[in-house]
């Protein structure tokens, strides 16, 4: 990708192909949500207490716009939580 990442992803999403997946980028996730380019957020949580950590969503994203859809627990203790982004409906 070159140029503006939002325009590049918008162009990529307008083509045929599989769903796009972002792994481990709180900066890109917020940017995509803020620009109506992400429809779903799947959080894989492994409960470990570490103290202060990095925020997943920027201040421009209202966490209340993520509607809980589903949760699954794996045998190893991971929680896989699926949320739909309601803000996409406003764009």
pLDDT digits (tens, 9 = 90+) for 18-76: 888 888 777 888 888 888 888 888 888 776 666 666 667 777 777 778 888 999 999 98
Give the CATH number, domain containing residue 79: 3.40.430.10
Find, among 53, 49, 44, 48, the residue nearest to 78 by Cα.
44
pLDDT tier for residue 1 given thresholds of 50, 70 and 90: low
Q: In which band, very low, low, confident or very high, does the pLDDT at 91 lie, cut at 50, 70 and 90?
A: very low
Domain count, the chain: 1
Task: Give the global pTM.
Answer: 0.63
Domain enclosing residue 25, as ranges: 5-89
């Amino acid at each position: 990708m070159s140029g503006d990442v939002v325009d590049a992803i918008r162009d990529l999403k307008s083509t045929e192909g599989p769903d796009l997946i972002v792994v481990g980028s709180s900066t890109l996730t917020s940017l995509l949500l803020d620009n109506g380019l992400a429809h779903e957020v799947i959080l894989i949580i492994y409960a470990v207490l570490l103290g202060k950590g990095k925020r997943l969503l920027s201040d421009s994203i209202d966490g209340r716009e993520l509607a809980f859809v589903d949760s699954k627990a794996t045998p190893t203790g991971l929680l896989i939580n699926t949320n739909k982004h309601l803000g996409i409906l406003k764009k």
